[in-house]
Structure 1
Amino acid sequence: MGDVKAVLFDLGDTLIRTADVAEILRRILSLYGVERPLPEIKEARREAELELSLEDYRLPYMEFWTEWNLRILKRLRIDADLRWLSREIVKVWWDNADVELYPDVAETLNHLRGRGLKLGVVTNGFKDDVDEVLRRVGLEGAFDVTVGVDAVGKPKPHKEIFLYAVERLGILPQEALFVGDSLEMDYFGALGAGLKALLIDRKGKIREKDIRKIKSLLEVVRYV
């Protein structure tokens, strides 16, 4: 992979970890006097996720998350002003998410930057959330490009979001290496867009063969 000019990363479960999404929602609902068991919240979230469409990703940031939260809250049969509560959830989300940087991130980024490589983040989150998370973990300004789903209105594994990132960097797709934790969205998504790909499998759960995978981000430097 000696022709790599940039390394792009997924965000969640690649660079950062958070509390489980359903647990974050349970905490926030509790703050507003609403108690629901975690399994019920997980099921409501799962059902809401099945309703997501590409049209949803074209909504403005606050409208997307308000509608997303509304779908979950309606399934939980909460007796409250649901639209107001949906917006409140968005406002306090990251304060309740236990956002942490994986311990191998800073050293990896320093190594790659020292080799003159460009760095980026490509995620299915919205750009506002990406910027907020990077600020909280001390990586504000650490990347040459940060791309959220709202940049193109299509999430990974659609090729458009990968191609948008490499275009912003001024390189060809084959000159970029993408690192992420999802086999479908990150690994095969990147390959489908013409990028090189590495799967970060920290817990050794992926059994598929013929997959380039690593257990630590520190191993990325071997592939550039």
Structure 2
Amino acid sequence: MIRAILFDLDGTLLDRRQSLEQFICEQYNRFSSHLMSIEKSEYCSRFLELDNNGYTWKDKVYATLLSEYNITTLTQEQLLHDYITNFQHHCIPFKNTHELLQQLKQRNIKIGIITNGFTEFQMSNLRALHIHTYTNTILVSEAEGIKKPHPEIFERALQRLDVKAEECLYVGDHPENDVLGSEQVGILGVWKKDSFWGNFKHSRIVDDLLEVLSFLEVEIKTQ
């Protein structure tokens, strides 16, 4: 019987792409006096390209932007500080995020988050989304000293939820870090489909988060 579900954050519960698009447009507006020689659409689009779905450190992204556009009146530290401070104000959840979490709580399913990233930044985003109110445990890689897909971080989550691997689902958008990473310790992985990763083949795939409930029901019925 499924007793717990673990979730990734970025690209799974947080619509990072939409949130980032909104943030970077507002950042351009905040620093427009320094960026007047660059079209807003060009600045935003180049930032998103360099970001590489979150897998390039932002200090490198900003350093590249400043260099490419020969911006001398701003520093990467200023832009990075603005990102760390203000991204949380643009966090947008995927459709049905709260509906799913509410239904899981009603069914007494334990809920956990495992996310790679910096603790303060990720916790600010979770609070902005009001997701932390549903959770029984939250593991952020910086605080844990270990990151996905290392099996230890998944095992710690199981211990803190006090459930066995076969009693747990893990929902995430990254094929290796989330789905295959969780499955290496016996958790049932569910891929939150993301076109960034191409056509990943898996037996459990969802487009809409509410589809996660169908896997929960199937697992319960097969006990």
Q: TM-score range by the shorter chain?
A: 0.7 to 0.9
* Aligned 8 A contact 1:202 1:214 in 2: no
Match of 2:30 in 1: 31
Q: What is the CA distance between 1:177 and its match in structure 2?
A: 0.8
Query: Among 149, 171, 174, which residue is 1:179 paired with?
Result: 171
Match of 1:54 in 2: none
Shift of 1:17: 1.2
* TM-score, normalised by the number of residues in structure 1: 0.74
Unaligned runs of 5+ residues in structure 1 are 51-67
Aligned counterpart for 2:158 among listed residues 152, 159, 166: 166
Greater displacement, 158-167 / 183-192: 158-167
Note if 1:69 corresponds to 2:68.
Answer: no
Residue 148 of structure 1 aligns with an amino acid whose one-letter code is V
* Correspondence list, 1:12-161, <5 A: 12-18=10-16, 19=18, 21=20, 24-25=23-24, 27-33=26-32, 34-35=34-35, 36=38, 37=42, 38-46=44-52, 49=55, 68-76=57-65, 77=67, 78-79=71-72, 80-95=74-89, 97=90, 99-161=91-153
Secondary structure of the 1:107 match is helix
Aligned partner of residue 211 in structure 1, secondary structure: coil
Could you tell me which amino acid in structure 1 is paired with residue 31 of structure 2? Y
Change (3 A) 1:12 1:210: closer
Stretches of structure 2 lacking an aligned partner (at least 5 in a row): 217-223
Paired-residue identity, %: 25
Per the alignment, do residues 206 and 213 of structure 1 end up closer, same or farther by CA in structure 2, a change over 3 Å counting? Answer: farther
Query: Normalized against structure 2, the TM-score is what?
Result: 0.75
**TM superposition shift of 1:208:** 4.3
RMSD (Å), alpha carbons: 2.8
Number of aligned residues? 201
Are residues 69 and 118 of structure 1, via their aligned partners in 2, closer, same or farther at CA, if it must alter by over 3 Å? Answer: same
Runs of 4+ in 1 over 4 A off after TM superposition: none
